[in-house]
Chain A
Amino acid sequence: MSLSSKDKDIVRAFWAKIGGKADEIGADALGRMLMVYPQSKTYFAHWKDLSPGSAPVKKHGKTVMAGVGNAVAKIDDLAGGLLTLSELHAFTLRVDPANFKSLAHCFLVVLAITYPTDFTPEVHLAVDKFLAALARALSEKYR
């Protein structure tokens, strides 16, 4: 299920459309994940407030989206481009990869809410493939 050049074009175009809203979208997606998939909260026990819209969620949503933006820029070589992040997730964070799927789904939900007409099935397909490829690259160093 590798990314075709059409998929990459769609992802790059949609990322450009998201533009400055990225931080907001990231925070919304993260907040939703914590609420809809409570097991994900286990990674943030050190936060004071895990509710949607809280300061730690907003801050971290921004961090995550910077990573996603970086991945879009490195879309032609995700494993190489995300090497450092992969090592971080593998050796320090040790996030169970199932959670990448949960966050990806919430990200898609936010895109559907924000862009109800533009988030067509074809765009959904390309973005879903991209997020899956991103997750794979992030889990590269796990074992």
Chain B
Amino acid sequence: MVEWTDFERATIQGIFDKMEYEVVGPAALCRCLVVYPWTQRYFGNFGNLYNAAAILANPLVAKHGTTILHGLDRALKNMDNIKATYAELSVLHSEKLHVDPDNFKLLSDCLTIVVAAKMGADFTPDVQAAFQKFLSVVVSALGRQYH
């Protein structure tokens, strides 16, 4: 089981309390699709992903970015059992979506960068450490059921 300090719990909760899901989610997914273009392989039916401008303007990408970010709410509500919380989603990503789990890390790095840009100086090194720890636990849980 993952041990969380009070600081970590408060920090992570604080970040999500102030989160603008419809801005940050799309921004993170767009960034991932631009910076790591091979991730576009999973979005063949999303229409125009031809260049950065098209990706940023694509409404399906925006909608999906928001959906993914809300997916993190589950971990937030169950921080003491993230592994079990994502078991079903892990199976889905493995057996139905066939997403290479390395991609989860790529998206989480992009999310970190978008949150950093939003929070500015408030995204101190210890806040970054707490946020990245949270994301790495989620990423690990999402990859857990692959076989």
Residues of A bordering B, CB below 8 Å = 31-32, 35-36, 52, 105-106, 108-109, 112-113, 116, 119-122, 124-125, 128
A60: min CB distance to chain B, Å = 15
Tell me whether chain A's interface is mostly helix, strand or loop, or mixed. Answer: helix
A52 and B34 contact, CB distance less than 8 A: no
- Shortest C-beta distance, A83 to chain B (Å), equals 29
Among the listed B35, B55, B126, B129, which residue makes an inter-chain contact with A124, where contact means beta carbons less than 8 Å apart? B35
The answer to whether A35 and B125 touch across the interface, beta carbons within 8 angstroms, is yes
Q: When the two chains form their complex, are residues B35 and A105 in contact, meaning their CB atoms are under 8 A apart?
A: no
The winner among B35, B109, B129 for most chain A CB atoms within 10 A is: B35
Q: Are B52 and A122 in contact (CB under 8 A)?
A: yes
Q: Chain A residue with minimal CB distance to B122?
A: A113
Closest 5 CB pairs of A and B: A121-B34, A116-B117, A112-B117, A35-B125, A112-B116
**Minimum C-beta distance from B120 to chain A (A):** 6
Docked-complex contact A31 and B125, CB < 8 angstroms: yes
List B15-63 residues whose CB lies under 8 Å from chain A.
30-31, 34-35, 52, 55-56
A36 touches B132 (CB 8 A): yes
Question: Which of B52, B56, B112 is in CB contact (< 8 Å) with A109?
Answer: B112
B104 interface residue (CB < 8 Å to A): no
For B123, give its contact among A31, A113, A121, A122 (CB under 8 Å): A113
Inter-subunit contact B117/A119 (CB<8 Å): yes
Size band of the interface chain B makes with A? 20 to 34
| A121, B31: Cβ atoms closer than 8 Å | yes
Contact assessment for A52 and B125 in the assembled complex, using a CB-CB cutoff below 8 Å: yes
The verdict on A124 contacting B31 (CB below 8 Å), with A112-B116, A116-B120 known, is yes
Smallest Cβ-Cβ distance to A129: which chain B residue: B35
Question: Do B125 and A112 touch (CB < 8 A)?
Answer: no
With the chains together, A36 CA to B133 CA distance in Å? 8
Q: Are A36 and B52 also in contact (CB < 8 A) when A109-B113, A122-B34 are? A: no
Q: Which residue of B lies closest to A120 (CB)?
A: B52
Set of chain A residues within 8 Å of B129, measured between Cβ atoms:
35-36
Q: Are A125 and B125 in contact (CB under 8 A)?
A: no
Q: Is the CB of A125 within 8 A of B35?
A: yes
Q: Please name all residues of chain B whose beta carbon is closer than 8 Å to the beta carbon of A119 when the two chains form the complex.
A: 113, 117
Residues of chain A within 8 A (CB-CB) of B126 are 35
A105: nearest residue on chain B (CB-CB)?
A: B109
B97 at the interface (CB under 8 A from A): no
Q: Are A109 and B34 in contact (CB under 8 A)?
A: no
**Once bound together, how far apart are the Cα atoms of A82 and B114, in whole Å?**
31
B128 at the interface (CB under 8 A from A): yes
B74 sits at the interface (CB 8 A): no
